Amino acid sequence: MKTDELIAHLSDDLTPVPAHYVGRVLAMGLGLGFLLSAILMLAAMGPRPDLSVAMEGGAFWMKLAYTLSFAALGLWMVERLGRSDTSARRPAAFLLVPILLLLIVAIVQFYQPGIDRHHMVMGDSWKVCAIDILTISVPAFVAVFWALRKLAPTRLTLAGAGAGLLAGGIGASVYAFHCVEYTAPFILIWYTGGMAASALIGAGISRWALRW
């Protein structure tokens, strides 16, 4: 086929694009990801038994704010990197904000007098936390990658990392409704670890999963 013919074909094919296409696609991926991950968490683990009590305290909300901030920054990265030639330097740099804030809280908690420091860092569930976050993230991972494939990522590794971060943020936020840990050092290490692993996996499979 000649290029002139191709251009004629493509022009004939032209239909107006829906307004806010990228936003809609991402909203769909995000909604689907949260929904499916929540279903998986409820089916496989169940919410923490003392959820209503925990929701009255600050630790639960600190944990949720931390994981949601990762999801939000991941979403921002995906929104940028899904549009061909764009940079995600700003959202990536903003990741330092929640990390540093939580680090401050973690240091304050850790140096409180008369506290069981080992338990503060390891909790009762350090062995499963990061793995569980990854597991809960799987449906969100699929939904987010499905959405990103509809866009035009041209830096696949970065876009994959952003998508993995978003999926990990969703998974960790959902997992926060199951997990009873409440100390800042625990969240800083194990929650961040789970979400970072998700981002790494996203970057690792990007060449294969995002190619178009």
Residues at the contact surface with another protein, assessed by CB under 8 A? 1, 3-4, 6-18, 21-22, 82-86, 149, 151-152, 154, 211-212
Please, what is the minimum distance in Å from the beta carbon of residue 209 to another protein?
9
C-alpha span between 152 and 166 (Å, rounded)? 17
Nearer to another protein, 10 or 43 (CB): 10
Please, what is the minimum distance in Å from the beta carbon of residue 149 to another protein?
8
Please, what is the minimum distance in Å from the beta carbon of residue 153 to another protein?
8
Q: Is 114 exposed, middle or buried (0-12, 13-18, 19+ CB in 10 A)?
A: exposed
Nearest to 36 by CA among 174, 177, 196, 181: 174
Please, what is the minimum distance in Å from the beta carbon of residue 42 to another protein?
31
Cα R_g (the chain), whole angstroms: 20
Please, what is the minimum distance in Å from the beta carbon of residue 191 to another protein?
32
Nearer to another protein, 56 or 85 (CB): 85
